[in-house]
Chains A and B, each alone.
Chain A
């Protein structure tokens, strides 16, 4: 990493090119940490692909049923948790019924954490939402995409009981919900496999349901082709997607707050790329001459 060559022989640019990567690490740490201490609200424009998700929920009449699959674990919390909270806020404000499930073991726990947060809101508290009537949490079932496939025939096949051990038949909300035909929208919050891609391949392509999604920023670009073909109504990509969603919903939350750190970090990385290239070109020019 740090060569101990003669310092005189190396030009400024050369030194810059062989810079110890720990210095870069330090810059990044500072770029992220410092802005966290400031509350700066930035203007966040809403992209069409996020609006697609918003519209998909917005156009549902009150009382419609939304199935939401929590397919992530705490590792992706910073990106997906704000989306989950915003999603619940949106649904409950519109009086939609929410059916929660998870293809990842930790997913339904993430849902409970988000619900806890959302129920602190005054307007949602006032609605006095009831478990089993306004929302249910079916819990986790092992089986990855096979679960999605089986649910196309019957939810009960994959989830005979909800997360708390109550048979589905005893839950008022699940009355008359047999399979995808009886839900109006599926929402997939996903950080990898199994996730949105499997929902597209097994639920949309096979059972023709309407699907919207929130993904980590890494995964989101792979979903664009699906949005373009209409297999997916829209996708929220990473913390920025979450921030846009919070903006269009009119309830700025934690994602909007994190955006400042995010912006500064991006700027620092871009700066590094510029410096790296300047050094590269000035060296190359010298070698030629």
Chain B
């Protein structure tokens, strides 16, 4: 029961999904299973959130390192969930003007956008540190990145203005994007398709089942 039922269920559901793709009247199953997935995920988030709260409560209780920040985590969680669930007009909770929207725009969004913007700094230090023309492969990566970075902004055309029109850095960037880049992407994409198909089959056949746990 503990092990066999899940394996049979995975195989059945997986095969049904594949077959349903080719049988139009069965397409509706696809939609329904997706909906069920969302329902399961919606239940599962209680597990995650409970886990998060418990870890932080533990931290505060045991006065572990940085325990005051555990309080911040819990408070942060409550500060947005209580207005979001009870005081923001129910389903229209995310409309402009609700308390939830206010917290979203002034707390959540700046944090998220700034974290995103940190990438600008990290990408700079990564380019400085990692971009070395060590060998042929690294050099190709470097040159392509260089052409793209300069070619995509007006500087690229400006420093190659001595070249005939149509052969400047901007055009080179276009050419790389249109041809070699497309080819590389495509090889990766086709490879992924095959890897995924084989991986999915292993799961459906029950060969890959560590995620199912033991008895």
Contacts and interface: CB of A to CB of B under 8 A. Distances in A.
Interface of A: 19, 21, 24-25, 27-29, 32, 42-45, 47-49, 74-77, 105-106, 109, 112, 142-144, 146, 149-150, 221-222, 224-225, 228, 240, 259, 262-263, 265-270, 272-273, 275-277, 280-281
B186 interface: yes
Contacts of B182: 224-225, 228
A225 B185 contact: yes
Given A146-B34, A149-B31, A75 B113 contact: yes
A14 to B, nearest CB: 14
Contacts of B131: 273, 276-277
Given A143-B34, A224-B178, A74 B113 contact: yes
A106 B128 CA distance: 36
Nearest first, the 9 closest Cβ-Cβ pairs linking A and B are: A263-B153, A21-B125, A42-B154, A272-B128, A146-B34, A25-B121, A28-B124, A266-B149, A280-B132
B185 A142 contact: no
B198 to A, nearest CB: 20
A144 B31 CA distance: 11
A25 B154 contact: no
A122 B16 CA distance: 56
B124 A25 contact: yes
Interface string B87-102: 0000000101000000
B38 interface: yes
Interface in B88-132: 94, 96, 105, 109, 112-113, 116, 120-121, 123-125, 127-129, 131-132
A179 B160 CA distance: 49
A24 B127 CA distance: 10
Interface in B143-184: 145-146, 149-150, 152-155, 157, 170, 174, 177-178, 181-182
A214 to B, nearest CB: 16
B166 to A, nearest CB: 11
Query: Of B154, B178, B181, which is in contact with the most chain A CB atoms at under 10 Å from its CB?
Result: B154
Nearest to B152: A240
The SS class assigned to the A binding surface is: helix
Nearest to A281: B133
Nearest to B125: A21
B124 A222 contact: no
Contacts of A142: 38
A228 B181 CA distance: 12
Contacts of B177: 49, 221, 224
Contacts of B123: 269
Contact of A24 (B38, B128, B181, B186): B128
A224 B149 contact: no
B96 A109 contact: yes
Contact of B127 (A112, A240, A269): A269
A24 B125 contact: yes
A224 B38 contact: no
Nearest to A279: B132
A269 B124 contact: yes
B181 A143 contact: no
Given A43-B154, A225-B189, A270-B146, A276 B129 contact: yes
16 contacts: A25-B121, A28-B124, A32-B120, A45-B157, A45-B170, A74-B105, A74-B113, A75-B112, A109-B96, A144-B34, A146-B34, A150-B31, A240-B152, A262-B153, A267-B155, A273-B146
Contacts of A76: 116
A17 B93 CA distance: 52
A267 B185 CA distance: 27
Nearest to B146: A270
A273 B128 contact: yes
B154 A270 contact: no
B142 interface: yes
B178 A106 contact: no
Query: Of B152, B178, B186, which is in contact with the most chain A CB atoms at under 10 Å from its CB?
Result: B152
A32 B118 CA distance: 13
B149 to A, nearest CB: 5
A68 to B, nearest CB: 20
B94 A266 contact: no
B34 A105 contact: no
A145 B112 CA distance: 25
